[in-house]
Chain A
Amino acid sequence: MSNPLLFFAQIFSRRHPPSRVPVRVHIDSVSQASSTIFLFMRRMRAPLITLIIIFSVSVVGLTLIPGVDPGGNVAYISLFESFYFMSYTATTIGFGELPWPFTAQQRLWVTFSIYLSVIGWAYAIGSLLTLVQDRSFRQALALRRFTRKVAHLREPFLLVVGYGRAGELLAKAFDSLGQQLVVIDESSDRVDALDLGSYHADIPGLVGDAANPHHLTAAGLNHPFCAGVLALTNNDETNLAVTMTAALLRPDLPVVSRTVSATIAERMRAFGTPAVVNPFDRFGEHLRLALNAPASYQLLTWLEAGPGAELPDRGSPPTEGRWVMCGYGRFGREVTGDLRAAGLKVTIIEPLERGEPEPGVIVGDASDPRVLARADLASAVGFVAGTDDDTTNLSMLATARRLNPRLFLAARQNRPASAALFEAMRVDALLVPTEVVAHEVYAQVSTPMLWRFIQEMPARGDQWAAELIQRLRYNCGRELPALWKVTLNHEQAPALDGWIAEGRVALGELLRSPEDRDRQLRVVPLLMLRNGEPVLTPDDETVLAPNDELLFAGEGSERRELESTLVVDSTAAYVLFDQHIPSSWLWRKLSRKSPAPSTQSGGRLR
């Protein structure tokens, strides 16, 4: 325990009943950095003192030696002139012998002090340069700069731990939403990549071990504007440590954590309620959804891919028949379980026999065509290449396709560099674990309503999903538009206050253009939350109530038009009831004297 006060705080806290308010433990993250700087100041002591002594001796010595003035009289130069002479001589500027030419004795002393002072300066400057180039000193400076940058953030930010492939995808998606981020990664290469990446915002990045709570605190874990922690490293243990630290120090923060191990996921859930993302698990669920409802799956992947994503193709995996599963590791087990749950038969090929043999398991190297032949691919409908080696997966896919060209091919891509190869292979379903994580985290964190929508969506069936995709494509094009949220309260919809309370606003009326109310806005309402109850794709007749939350999909220009309806009284009156009311206060006062407008908007004009 570094701080004895913390120790005593713990002892004393045991005597009192535990308080309900979570205690914010303060970890001094700057102390590490400042200790390094103190150490280096300490190291500068010797050179500086040497310099002061050399200077004093030379300056005093020069004033004590008699010189000769132009008149031929003996004259001593003053302390100030001596200091001036030594300053320009020692720093090798050399203006000459001032105020008058020196005598031989003075020159002797000056020669001596020149050599002395050059040594002194070389020592001091050399120490300073060594110090500046020292690695730990530079790291300490970088940490200080980073800490200051984070401390000055004045908008909600997400703390992203691990800037790998998933982190990068997420950073791009959140940056385009205008969400501020702070990044920690172990590798300096990745943080350099962050600096080089073209982001709208200035994203502070720290090279450091995220399992160290000091680094997390430096990255703003205790910052009042920290809005959430995303643990996305490749290392499950690190993610666990991050989840644990965040849960203990900031129990109020949402945490999203990535893992591929069910055990680690259990251990993470022991600390509060982190959202654990297991890419293998999710891929299995997605595959099952794709088998049962291809359109729902298409909609899901489209919405999760973030703004600007192209509409993915709708796959048509075989829903009956036998699948062949190569590689029965963690990934294989998850997917096999999901396939069997969907009522499909699965033949497993596994290079190593583990434990007791299960029925339907062929032991052998799946990249060997003879082993593949034993799995009887000709009668199978689907094939999953799920080992953790991309080369093996690709060669298995090629062999399988040669044996049975009609097979539905699913594969797991492990390295980002292999992306081009898998694309050229034209597999039907591809798992890229980092992308699954990125999309999943995006859906959970970007807006909670999107996550709600995604959870409720599969229950609505395939037909509904296909119609919604048609509607989105018609209104917004092939690229996923921005999703945004509107709460019908006084802050976000002041113009509608009275009418909504009276129950006179239908959704279809609201979504009209302020320029021409006969034109419907190209906006699709995806979800309405009323008192926490979700309504998916509310229809035009839905009557809005105060504090309803709505999730819309639509282009930015349409969004601005809707916002002007929500905020400007006269626009709202026109859009909803086709009435023209003056927008300025004076004209409204004047128009009240004229024959009153119809009763519909009278209430608002008071």
Chain B
Amino acid sequence: MNLEKVVFGFFVLLAATLNFGFFIGDISNPDLHNIYELFAALAVSLIATVLKFGDRTQIGAVHLATSLVADLQLVAASVVWVWAQEISAEGMSAAATASVVSLSGGALLAKVVSVVLLVIETVTFHRG
């Protein structure tokens, strides 16, 4: 058992599950999307990205790329949330909630790709 793989798999899956938890629910209803979940998803996603720093394999590079995409989406979602909450006069309107959640949905897609890559890596390892 490779501890590095365990840690990385843990963080990738955790980021995906947290992201999914935030994403699920009516897209325009702010009550169904807990902002702490988004925060946690972003933090875990950043850790998963840093864990792939300096990986020279091909699959590691793709992992890094998908993680960076997810980070970008989540940061964008957080910024939209801050804008709606603190700056915009309307507060968390349905439209603002919808854009935060849909941005996190994009991040979720990247996370799914990450998980698929993880599974592929594991399966090929067993074959070898």
Contacts and interface: CB of A to CB of B under 8 A. Distances in A.
A52 B39 contact: no
A43 B36 CA distance: 30
A52 B54 contact: no
Contacts of B85: 78, 80
B56 interface: yes
B51 A49 contact: yes
Interface in A71-87: 78-81
Contact of B50 (A45, A60, A81): A45
Interface in A26-57: 35, 38-45, 48-49, 52-53, 55-56
Given A60-B39, A80-B85, A49 B56 contact: no
B82 interface: yes
Most buried by A among B46, B81, B85: B46
Interface string B86-124: 100000000000000000000000000000000000000
Interface in B34-81: 35-36, 39-40, 43, 46-47, 50-51, 53-56, 81
Nearest to B51: A45
B50 A52 contact: yes
Contacts of B47: 49, 52-53
Nearest to B79: A80
A357 B50 CA distance: 75
Contacts of A81: 86
A80 B86 contact: yes
A39 B85 CA distance: 42
Given A39-B54, A45-B53, A60 B36 contact: yes
A48 B51 CA distance: 9
A47 to B, nearest CB: 9
A59 interface: yes
Contacts of A56: 39-40, 43
Contacts of A60: 36, 39-40
A180 B51 CA distance: 44
A143 B124 CA distance: 36
A38 B36 CA distance: 34
A38 B60 CA distance: 12
A601 B43 CA distance: 85
Interface string B13-52: 0000000000000000000000110011001001100110
A323 to B, nearest CB: 66
B67 to A, nearest CB: 13
Interface of A: 35, 38-45, 48-49, 52-53, 55-56, 59-60, 63, 78-81
7 contacts: A38-B56, A45-B50, A49-B50, A52-B43, A52-B47, A80-B82, A80-B86
Interface of B: 35-36, 39-40, 43, 46-47, 50-51, 53-56, 81-82, 85-86
Given A38-B56, A40-B54, A52-B46, 12 more contacts: A38-B54, A38-B55, A41-B53, A42-B54, A42-B55, A44-B54, A45-B51, A52-B43, A52-B47, A52-B50, A56-B40, A80-B86
Which 9 A-B pairs give the minimum distances between C-beta atoms?
A: A42-B54, A41-B54, A56-B43, A41-B53, A48-B50, A38-B54, A80-B82, A52-B46, A49-B47
